[in-house]
């Protein structure tokens, strides 16, 4: 980091989240876009990719190792899918002393433990966030608070039909947080298991995948004579960008892995 400016490389740069991240880094004071990596649109100018007329001096590279060595970023932002690809990118970045900020979902506890150990060994900070939308993080924190008083709960999460994983990382993280607070889903009463979604930490999650959706989640609590629903809707991918910027800045202060944006608020 020179003169207080954080040098950023974006992995999965040609994807929808990648392109939104590129625009945000270019437009945010204190961040400098130095590299972009993807397996498609290789060699294309980032300015052309995101519809900017100014010469940004960055082209899409196909090999992360080469890009890390050539650009020497402080932070790597990664939205690559699937999670195995993101984990491989994570390992390369940490080995090069670059701090990963990862929005890929699908991380298992075992995989998180592995990369956390890697960060500890190299004393490199990293952030993995199931959701970068500040509103979604607040939804999870509010749900954890409500769970102490209304412990019967189910989660309905809805995403676009191109999302690879189900349930979403946000839903699983929400389930973990409210389970820690003592909430659970009530037992079935003759309902077929195949019609009720699945459970995470004893909390039932229902996943919907349809065109026209982006990212939506409702946490529904029930008590005698009443229900309480906490819902968050992502209307556009712009909603994730303030969280990405926050993570890029906060990760510079870390020497370990932090899982979940709620731990930075």
What distance in Å separates the CA atoms of residue 264 and residue 78, rounded to the nearest whole number?
A: 18
Active-site entry in 122, 141, 160, 163: 163
Other residues' Cβ atoms within 10 Å of the Cβ of residue 56: 19
**Is the Cβ–Cβ distance between 205 and 167 less than 8 Å?**
yes
159: annotated active-site residue: yes
Q: Burial letters for 6-22: b for 16+ Cβ neighbours within 10 Å, e otherwise?
A: bbbbbbbbbbebbbbbb
- Please tell me whether residue 235 adopts helix, strand or coil conformation: coil
**Is the Cβ–Cβ distance between 77 and 8 less than 8 Å?**
yes
Active-site entry in 159, 206, 216, 232: 159
- How far the first Cα of the chain sits from its last, in Å, is 23
3-state helix, strand, coil in the chain (%, to 5): 40, 25, 35
Tokens of 20: 């939104």
Whose tokens are 């196909």? That residue is 62
Tokens of 37: 């990596």
What distance in Å separates the CA atoms of residue 265 and residue 75, rounded to the nearest whole number?
A: 19
Q: How far is CA 70 from CA 36, 66, 85, 111, 231, in A?
A: 11, 6, 21, 28, 43
122: annotated active-site residue: no
Give the active site residues: 159, 163
């Amino acid at each position: 980091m020179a003169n207080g400016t954080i040098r950023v490389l974006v992995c999965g740069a040609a994807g929808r989240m990648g392109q939104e991240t590129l625009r945000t880094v270019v437009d945010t004071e204190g961040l400098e876009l130095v590299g972009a990596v993807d397996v498609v649109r290789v060699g294309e100018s980032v300015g052309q990719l995101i519809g900017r007329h100014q010469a940004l001096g960055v082209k899409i590279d196909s090999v992360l190792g080469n890009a890390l060595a050539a650009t020497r970023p402080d932070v790597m932002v990664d939205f690559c899918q699937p999670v195995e690809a993101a984990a491989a990118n994570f390992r390369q970045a940490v080995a090069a002393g670059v701090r990963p900020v990862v929005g890929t979902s699908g991380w298992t506890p075992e995989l998180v433990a592995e990369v956390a150990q890697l960060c500890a060994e190299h004393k490199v900070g990293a952030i993995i966030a199931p959701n970068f939308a500040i509103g979604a993080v607040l939804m999870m924190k509010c749900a954890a608070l409500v769970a102490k008083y209304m412990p019967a709960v189910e989660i309905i999460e809805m995403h676009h039909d191109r999302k690879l994983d189900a349930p979403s990382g946000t839903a699983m993280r929400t389930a973990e947080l409210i389970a820690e607070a003592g909430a659970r889903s009530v037992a079935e009463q003759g309902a077929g298991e195949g019609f009720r979604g699945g459970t995470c930490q004893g909390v039932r999650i229902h996943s919907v995948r349809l065109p026209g959706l982006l990212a939506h989640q409702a946490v529904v609590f029930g008590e005698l004579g009443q229900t309480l629903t906490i819902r968050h809707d992502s209307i556009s991918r712009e909603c994730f960008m303030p969280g990405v910027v926050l993570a890029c800045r906060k990760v510079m202060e870390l020497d370990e892995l932090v899982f979940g944006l709620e731990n930075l608020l």
